[in-house]
Structure 1
């Protein structure tokens, strides 16, 4: 019997409250307990169906229910439950903007954490295909593919249809999917001379000097975005440097359910970042997923770690940081170049940071600029948008955004997530091509 729908959300007028993941408790890994919780939550979701349009996880669940003999969750074989978690890419939108039953509601529904638990249990019990583990090794792949000669060879192969068919067979990367190009030198090598010199001026929550976490993607595949970020910060008289050393933030491993690797990466990154925070540095990164990892995912995995909490408090989305400066009258608004109409796709992992549309609010400061806000998922979401078995679904999820962009005929199309932006632009034949908002802001400054 489906759970009754409680649209009044009685006793739950507060904002959603996230409980720690609890992954170090033995019961987290108990397979029978997991299936019992899946059945409980799936029953609530079946009675509501509010999230049916968000991603393919919910249609998968509801199709299983509707095809069962009982037309209820109890008629769905538990062996089919992984079909639901396989379609969840942990965007968190169902938790943050859709679900009426999140804590403090007594039903205590946290669908993303349940799907993460299912992925983690499956990974611990069965591991993951070699192809999935390679795709999740973003830092290692980036370093290897950025070696001189190797970079040119990899990029040429990625443009070759025959090589792409072989890649599809070997690594499950769809032959039609857009894959990143690799560049040398990396962002860290290009910007190694940044010394953070200058006098910081505090404003609001910001302390006025920033260390940039380059991210695996930007370091090796989009170093220009990190250069744009550093240039914009310098133009606003904000002392800037790179994080002393870094590894992957851990998001690709989290999405795989490989929580032990997330712990390993946390043990590498957090001490470095925490020491820099103690030295007075604020932190930022140009990829929303990496920012979210330090703002939310690691704190929920390690709620009692003081260094994790310290890093969380000082990690900012770039436009969140710039708008905080603007509130205090310290943002340089001497813009030279109007941007015209800009179609801005709001990245899911930026939406769930609960900071508001700070990218739009900053870009709207540029005279002669109109921002069209597109709050629809790109369908890319890490490796989901490149894997052969999910690529067609990712294109379907991206299609509404592509239509909105095409109909708007903007001068610029942008997304704070470079992978999401590239995925949508690919569906549009790069008319228009994707540009990062930081690149547009630099263009507006004329620098």
Structure 2
């Protein structure tokens, strides 16, 4: 149970006892049940609870001087040793920096939401920022907005939001997941009822609204409606392309790109949509790896599991280090921002070179000539 980090892939691709088998086994959620029992019994420590409270430590983001001080301190050996002994964060694990300006503050004003006649896919978008994009890497969210603007797709930023609840779900803290749901669903359902496509740039956050929360609240009509209107960004872009509404001229090539499909992207059953869009860019070669990086949220940074996470990811690091023709990649990329940094660290630890790390949305923005 402690080694399960809820990737869900056993249910999707490995386990032979899933429906229509008579045993009807959902192994990941059997593990979730065990985690919930463990949490209820009080067997989850305060350090783990704090590590999963992304809205708490993210509050420092965007505060002048404080951000720079926190980021600088977190890089020192002394601070990392203290964090390892007190909070259980491995001193060698990569940790995200806090952003000097939050995404929700840095985002341009919302575009007018006038929908063109004849559009099949939703012609307007509501952005669910996610904790990571808002507090740590707002540039990814800003690149998404540039792509939407370039394709003349009006957008708004969701009025208010809390953490989707995924870190709490991994702990078995289902009461906190319900609190997140009660905060987010009433806000998001308004956009769903108004015909918005709701986009989240982090696969785990999308999965919460597409799968986990709907499974927990199957009879909640608002939750099910949000599920129907929640899109992965590249799932949305490829739907727009099928409807002839996506611009497909890319003036900037990307070179050799090694791209990893994260587990929580695969579980959404949307196909290789990111790969499809990246392959549209001229003079660009994509080396796609469909295997778990091992990061798995807090699993990848905890002292008890960091080395295991690196071991799980080692086949991915090696596969991404060489293109099909034997040449090294210019860029490595993953839809999961945390997984991407974990892979970059794997390259460094295993002496596989130091290619540039870019999120797929940033790569597409570059290919469009927007950065």
**TM-score, length-scaled by structure 1:** 0.79
Q: Which residue of 2 aligns with 1:420?
A: 339
User: Does 1:443 find its partner at 2:362?
Assistant: no
Contact 2:61–2:136 (Cα < 8 Å) also in 1: no
Query: Which stretch of structure 1 is more off in the superposition, 147-156 or 227-236?
Result: 147-156
| Counterpart pick for 2:268 among 335, 345, 353 | 353
Contact 1:88–1:115 (Cα < 8 Å) also in 2: yes
- Whole-angstrom CA distance in 1 between matches of 2:269 and 2:246: 22
| Counterpart pick for 2:102 among 186, 204, 217 | 186
Q: Which residue of 2 aligns with 1:275?
A: 190
- Whole-angstrom CA distance in 2 between matches of 1:102 and 1:351: 17
User: Does 1:91 find its partner at 2:10?
Assistant: no
| Counterpart pick for 2:145 among 224, 230, 238 | 230
Contact 1:200–1:238 (Cα < 8 Å) also in 2: no
| Counterpart pick for 1:164 among 77, 80, 84 | 80
- Cα 1:248–1:382 change in 2 (3 A) is same
- Whole-angstrom CA distance in 1 between matches of 2:329 and 2:99: 28
- Cα 1:149–1:373 change in 2 (3 A) is same
Q: Which residue of 2 aligns with 1:138?
A: 54
Measured after TM superposition, the shift of residue 202 of structure 1 is 5.9
DSSP 3-state at the match of 2:257:
strand
How many residues of Structure 1 are paired with residues of Structure 2 in the alignment? Answer: 362
Measured after TM superposition, the shift of residue 334 of structure 1 is 1.4
TM-superposition CA deviations, 1:233-263 (whole Å, max 9, x none)? 1111100110010000000000010000000
Alignment of 1:4-403 (within 5 A): 85-191=1-107, 193-200=109-116, 203-204=119-120, 206-403=121-318
Contact 1:123–1:257 (Cα < 8 Å) also in 2: yes
Contact 2:161–2:183 (Cα < 8 Å) also in 1: yes
- Cα 1:97–1:201 change in 2 (3 A) is farther
Measured after TM superposition, the shift of residue 192 of structure 1 is 5.4
- Whole-angstrom CA distance in 1 between matches of 2:290 and 2:220: 34
Contact 1:132–1:171 (Cα < 8 Å) also in 2: yes
Measured after TM superposition, the shift of residue 185 of structure 1 is 1.2
- Whole-angstrom CA distance in 2 between matches of 1:202 and 1:251: 37
Decide which structure has the larger Cα Rg and report it: 1
Q: Once superposed, what is the RMSD of the aligned Cα atoms?
A: 1.3
- Cα 1:247–1:202 change in 2 (3 A) is farther
5+ unaligned residues in a row in structure 1: which ranges?
A: 1-84
Contact 2:84–2:303 (Cα < 8 Å) also in 1: yes
TM-superposition CA deviations, 1:242-286 (whole Å, max 9, x none)? 001000000000001000000000000000000111122110011
TM-superposition CA deviations, 1:385-417 (whole Å, max 9, x none)? 000000000010111111112223112110000
DSSP 3-state at the match of 1:446:
coil
5+ unaligned residues in a row in structure 2: which ranges?
A: none
- Whole-angstrom CA distance in 2 between matches of 1:279 and 1:145: 32
TM-superposition CA deviations, 1:285-318 (whole Å, max 9, x none)? 1100000000000110000000001100000000
- Cα 1:151–1:395 change in 2 (3 A) is same
Contact 2:61–2:100 (Cα < 8 Å) also in 1: no
DSSP 3-state at the match of 1:126:
coil
